[in-house]
Chains A and B, each alone.
Chain A
Amino acid sequence: MKRAFPIFAILTALLLAYAFYQAIWVAPMERTMGDVQRIFYYHVPSAWTAFLLFFVNLVASVIYLARRNPRADVVALVSAEVGVVFCTVVLVTGPIWARPVWGIWWTWDIRLTTTLVLWLIYVSYLVLRRFSDSSQTPKLAAVLAIFGALDVPLVYFSIWFFRTQHPQPVIGGGGSIDPRMLHVLLINWLAFSCFAIVLCWARYRLERLHREVEEAEGLESLRGVSR
Chain B
Amino acid sequence: MSSLRSITVATLTKDIRLEWRSKDALNSMLFFSLLVVVIFSFSFDPNAEESREIAGGLIWVAFLFAAVVALNQTWARELRNQVLDAYRVSPAPATALFLAKALGNFILVSLLEALMAPLFVIFYNLRALGPAWQLIPVALLGTWALVVNGTFFAAMSLRTRSREIMLPLLLFPISIPAVQSMVEATRIILAGDGSARFWIVLLLTYDVVFTTACLGLFETVLQAE
Interface residues of chain A, those whose CB is within 8 Å of chain B, are 65, 117, 120-121, 123-124, 127-128, 131-134, 136-137, 139-140, 143-144, 146-148, 150-151, 154-155, 157-159, 161-162, 165
Contact = CB atoms under 8 A, between A and B. Distances in A.
Contacts, number: 88
Contact of B174 (A140, A148, A157): A148
22 contacts: A117-B176, A121-B174, A131-B160, A131-B162, A131-B166, A132-B159, A134-B159, A136-B159, A140-B159, A140-B221, A140-B224, A143-B217, A144-B156, A147-B174, A147-B213, A148-B173, A151-B177, A154-B202, A158-B176, A158-B202, A162-B180, A165-B194
A167 B178 CA distance: 21
Interface in B130-185: 149, 156-157, 159-162, 166, 169-170, 172-174, 176-178, 180-181, 184
B224 A124 contact: no
Given A134-B224, A146-B213, 8 more contacts: A117-B176, A120-B173, A131-B160, A143-B217, A150-B209, A158-B177, A162-B180, A165-B194
Interface of B: 149, 156-157, 159-162, 166, 169-170, 172-174, 176-178, 180-181, 184, 194, 198-199, 202, 205-206, 209-210, 213, 217, 220-221, 224-225
B161 A140 contact: no
Given A144-B170, A158-B180, A136 B210 contact: no
B221 A158 contact: no
A124 B198 CA distance: 28
Nearest to B217: A143
Interface of B is mostly: helix
A128 B198 contact: no
A150 B145 CA distance: 14
Contact of A124 (B173, B202, B210): B173
The 8 closest A-B pairs by CB, nearest first: A136-B224, A154-B177, A120-B173, A132-B160, A131-B160, A158-B177, A121-B173, A139-B224
